[in-house]
Amino acid sequence: MRADRLVALLLLLQARGRVTAAQAAAELEVSVATARRDLEALSAAGVPVYPQAGRGGGWQLVGGARTDLTGLTGPEARALFLLLGPATAAGPDARGALRKLLRALPGTFRAEAAAAAEAVVVDPSGWGEQARDRPEVALLLDAVVARRVVEFDYAGRGGAPGRRRAEPWGLVDKDGTWYLVAGTAAGRRTFRVDRMGAPAVTGEGFERPAGLDLPGAWDEVVGEVERRRSPEAATVVVPARLVPVLRDRFSRHCAVEGGPDGDGRVRLRVAAHTVRAVAEQLAGFGAAVEVVEPAAVRAELAAIGAELLARHGG
């Protein structure tokens, strides 16, 4: 897990003062290319790690070898935890590594570092849109970490633009498209950063809700959006071997409802944006897929079969 490696790499640098990419690779049991990318990631995040060329060179921390994390400045600690935070979604080992690193920080840095670790969620699956760089992200990220209310112009789909106030709880990078998850007078809301105008950080502070699970909150947002995008569903029965294939095809719009039965078949619920789209995605599996309901999907499959027969029946 990358979070584990980055923590281990930082501690290795502190213990030895200077290491080559090859030495780091040997210690972490990864390739030299992976070790070099991790070193570059630490440097790009603002951790004071830099390469020194020539004989006896390598990568080292500014200020030489250290045995603890007290040499990190506040901005450096924040940069490190912004980098590591999203990686903790990989599992409990990564989260454990992050907690240990937090405890090693000077007490004055821990609150801001912890806030930075929870500030960003990375969702690699896109919605089929072209992402653009957003200069507003850095400003909003500062507000998330510092717990400061933000104001911005915003117009939802079909709505008139207006000035909004929100408590920024966290940012989500969905395949390059950024979203702000925030608290408002009307409750939790999600705002697309590229629809914001004139964002500004106020001097007003706020308390982040206790126990807020930002990844969980984002899952709820995505689930609701996907339900609206894919309102047409069908119940199908398929051989167990096809379950992973259909899960890959329908993604989160494929759910197991029962089975396997005596014949080794599994009942699934699949969905798409139209009845025709459901049928088109099932048609390639031929008789291996049995549509239980609704009749509209069965009719579309029959129509697709008739079209193929008319075109290729010869």
Domain with CATH 1.10.10 in the chain: 2-117
DSSP conformation letters of 192-252: EGGG-EEEEEEEEE-PPPTT--HHHHHHHHHHHHHHHH--EEEEEEEEGGGHHHHHHHHGG
Could you tell me the fold of the domain covering 2-117?
Arc Repressor Mutant, subunit A (1.10.10)
The reported pLDDT for the residue numbered 101 is: 62
The CATH 2.30.30 domain(s) of the chain lie at 123-213
Return the pLDDT at 130.
44
Which secondary-structure segment (H or E) carries 269? strand 265-272
Query: pLDDT tens, 72-131?
Result: 555 666 666 665 565 555 455 555 556 666 665 655 556 666 666 666 665 655 554 444
Kindly indicate the confidence band of residue 204, based on its pLDDT and cuts at 50, 70 and 90: very high
CATH of domain 230-312: 3.30.70
Q: Are 149 and 206 in contact (CB under 8 A)?
A: yes
Q: Which of 196, 98, 219, 101 is nearest to 140 (CA)?
A: 196
Say which range, 1-10, 234-243, 264-273, has the weakest mean pLDDT. 1-10
pLDDT at 142: 84
* Omega prior to 294 cis, within 30 of 0: yes
Residue with tokens 């579309």: 300
Amino acid at 206: F
pLDDT band at 63 (very low <50, low <70, confident <90, very high): low
120-123 and 58-61 strand pairing:
unpaired
Tokens of 308: 């193929």
pLDDT single digits (tens) 93-104: 555 556 666 665
State residue 20's pLDDT score: 87
Res 70 pLDDT > 60: no
Question: pTM for the full model?
Answer: 0.49
Q: What is the mean pLDDT of residues 252-270?
A: 85
Closest C-alpha to 1, from 92, 94, 128: 94
Eight-class DSSP state of 277: H
Residue 114: strand pairing partners: none
| Tokens 């909003």 belong to residue | 140
* Of 226 and 218, the one with more pLDDT: 218
Give the pLDDT confidence score for residue 18 in this predicted structure. Answer: 79
DSSP secondary structure letters along 128-192: S------THHHHHHHHHHHTEEEEEEE--TTS--EEEEEEEEEEEEETTEEEEEEEETTEEEEEE
The architecture in CATH of the region 123-213 reads: Roll (2.30)
Residues of the chain with CATH 3.30.70: 230-312
The DSSP call for residue 30 is S
Q: How far apart are CA 302 and CA 94, in angstroms?
A: 50
